[in-house]
Amino acid sequence: MLAKRIIPCLDVKDGRTVKGVNFVDLRDAGDPVELAWQYSQQGADELVFLDITATHEGRKTMIDLVKSVARQVNIPFTIGGGINELKDADALLAAGADKISINSAAVRNPNLIDELAKSFGSQFVVVAVDTRLVDTQNLVHLRGGREQTDIITEAWIKEAESRGAGEILLTSMDHDGTKNGFDVSLLSKINAAINIPLIASGGAGNEQHFVDVFQQSGVDAALAASVFHYGEILIPDLKDILRKNHIVVR
């Protein structure tokens, strides 16, 4: 079995790490570079940085942040937000990012996935998907969750895989920030439908939630933000509990 990955996510706005509930009511959680260094020391497997208002405000992701993080940490990190074309990704890679994450831009221009995979390799391309249950269907949402589409989440994820996505980062907006646990049923369904790694996001509140998502859905990685930022879960403790539950971690 491949080792499961624990990934702190740093949502960045105006150069600071922030966290909200269901994508709103943001509060400050610290300096992203300092947090990144702490997580790398604690034993995080990877990091994800999302410039959460880049698409909404039409800005490019912060190259300077990437350079600073690359100097401080020795674990892989992904950066997303405002990436709309190859040159955006190229600049981030040159600055030190290991992967890029695309979300709204990929939905608006699915060929972007093909172009990125062809230019840099699938392992460089993470397609992030924000989903919310609307009536009985999980639908894709854009612009940091502000814009509902009529695109069925599972169908879009399968298309992203077919176009060359190397990994899917799936955030349940219904669970995000609630600390009530990951959306295990949705994650199980999606994980069974694809052949590339799936990262679970949205809902982590305690160590048991990580045990549950790995054991019940089989995802490759679990991502969380506030429980790590505010010290509610320490990564070494979390990995100890996962090992005790026979889950392979690094």
Q: How many other C-beta atoms can be found within 10 angstroms of the C-beta atom of residue 192? A: 10
Q: What is the C-alpha end-to-end distance of the chain, expressed in Å?
A: 12
Annotated active-site residue in 45, 51, 88, 130: 130
Q: Are 5 and 221 in contact (CB under 8 A)?
A: yes
Question: DSSP state, 249?
Answer: B
Which segments within 31-105 are labelled E, that is strand? 47-51, 77-80, 99-102
C-alpha to C-alpha distance for 232 and 235, rounded to whole angstroms: 10
Joined tokens for residue 164 = 């060359």
Using alpha carbons only, what angle is made at residue 83 by residues 230 and 140, rounded to the nearest 5 degrees? 75
11 catalytic per annotation: yes
Q: How far is CA 61 from CA 15, 34, 84, 196, in A?
A: 11, 18, 10, 26
Active site positions, annotated: 11, 130
